[in-house]
Amino acid sequence: MNAKDLVALSYLTTEEIYEILEMARNFKLEHRAGVKHDVLAGKTLAMIFQKPSLRTRVSFENGMYQLGGNAIYLGPDDIKLGKRETTEDIAIVLSGYVDGIMARVFEHQTILDLAKYADVPVINALCDRYHPCQILGDLLTIMEKKRQLAGLTLTFVGDGNNVAHSLINGCAKVGMNFRIACPKGYEPNEDVVQAALAIGGSVEIMHDPKEAAMGADVLYTDVWASMGQEAQAEQKKHAFASFTVDEDLLRLADSEALVMHCLPAHYDEEITYAASRSKGSAIFDQAENRMHAQKAVMALLMS
């Protein structure tokens, strides 16, 4: 893997994505077989959190432990990124202490600044524009369940948000067809769509969830209002009222379709509880696979 950082999946080659997925698959199988690793022995990851998270903290922290390394949690009040101290100074200081920086932040520019000024690898654990680690875990899950990626159709029902953007990036790189069903005015960023189309990706923007779900191999959804968008929650709840992934929508997809959600879920909003527990649900496989995909990213960038 030639990349220094993981900023977005669009920065990686198709070969690099498959290298991550193959390593992640092996890490998962070996972990279940009780195989111990020391590939990151003596290495330390700084974990910067502007936004709290169950899955991100536990998966990165335990992932470092499983690879023989150490992780330091830096919460929202620990360093006050960009407020008490500039992002540039924090990146330079941390580069002298640790071997990698993971950041879960509000603004994409913060990730770019960390990557620019840090001498150690920077991993984007979430920002307002992208969520690459989530989608690597998702691609691993789809590959496990479907035995392939290229040629499959993934339908995302929801807002054109950071998850949608990284799904567009990832699907374009591995040859999956991407559809999004969203209300008018909530489409993904046009530059993200155009970049995917420019490399031969298939991106369809639809406004009817039933049309978008027809024959899909994967039905994917996410919360309508992300953390930090609380002021828009009621407005979005109204706009997305007919965009719930439920059992009726599942019946329009392929009979073996996967149901996916990056969690946390707001049941009876973007997805019903019954749909989340349907036979095709891979929601909790996704959650587990985040850790193994991130282990692969850390091993490739930090070892």
3-state secondary structure of 284: helix
pLDDT at 226: 75
> Same structural domain for residues 113 and 155?
no
Residue 102's beta-bridge partner residues? 47, 123
229, pLDDT greater than 80: no
> Same structural domain for residues 150 and 254?
yes
Of the chain, the percentage scoring pLDDT greater than 70 comes to 99
Contact 108, 129 (CB under 8 A): yes
Is 108 domain-assigned? yes
134 is catalytic: yes
Is 179 domain-assigned? yes
pLDDT at 72: 98
How many residues in the chain? 303
> Same structural domain for residues 122 and 153?
no
Is 4 domain-assigned? no
Q: What pLDDT, in 10s, does the model give residues 33-65? A: 999 999 999 999 999 999 989 999 999 999 999
294 is catalytic: no
pLDDT at 143: 98
Active-site choice (129, 222, 261, 294): 222
> Same structural domain for residues 22 and 79?
yes
pLDDT at 233: 83
Per-residue pLDDT band at 228 (split at 50, 70, 90)? low
> Same structural domain for residues 272 and 294?
no
Q: Which domain holds residue 160?
A: 134-286
Is 231 domain-assigned? yes
> Same structural domain for residues 115 and 139?
no
Q: Rounded to an integer, what distance in angstroms lies between the CA atom of residue 200 and that of residue 173?
A: 9
pLDDT at 139: 98
Whichever domain contains 233, its CATH number is 3.40.50.1370
pLDDT at 227: 66
Active-site choice (50, 66, 134, 286): 134
Is 101 domain-assigned? yes
Radius of gyration of the chain (CA): 19
Q: Rounded to an integer, what distance in angstroms lies between the CA atom of residue 267 and that of residue 274?
A: 9
**Across 280-299, average pLDDT:** 98
> Same structural domain for residues 83 and 104?
yes
292 is catalytic: no
> Same structural domain for residues 227 and 248?
yes
Output the average pLDDT for the chain: 96
Is 109 domain-assigned? yes
Q: What pLDDT, in 10s, does the model give residues 85-121? A: 999 999 999 999 999 999 999 999 999 999 999 999 9
218, pLDDT greater than 70: yes
Q: What pLDDT, in 10s, does the model give residues 161-192? A: 999 999 999 999 999 999 999 999 999 999 99
222 is catalytic: yes
pLDDT at 121: 98
> Same structural domain for residues 208 and 297?
no
50 is catalytic: no
Active-site choice (55, 179, 261, 290): 290
Domains contained in the chain, number: 2
Active-site choice (55, 57, 104, 165): 104
82, pLDDT greater than 90: no
Tokens of 241: 């009222």
Tokens of 256: 């073996």
> Same structural domain for residues 125 and 190?
no
Is 2 domain-assigned? no
Is 3 domain-assigned? no
Active-site choice (57, 131, 165, 261): 131
Residue 156's beta-bridge partner residues? 180, 220
Active-site choice (159, 217, 262, 292): 262
Of the chain, the percentage scoring pLDDT greater than 90 comes to 93
> Same structural domain for residues 172 and 70?
no
> Same structural domain for residues 90 and 21?
yes
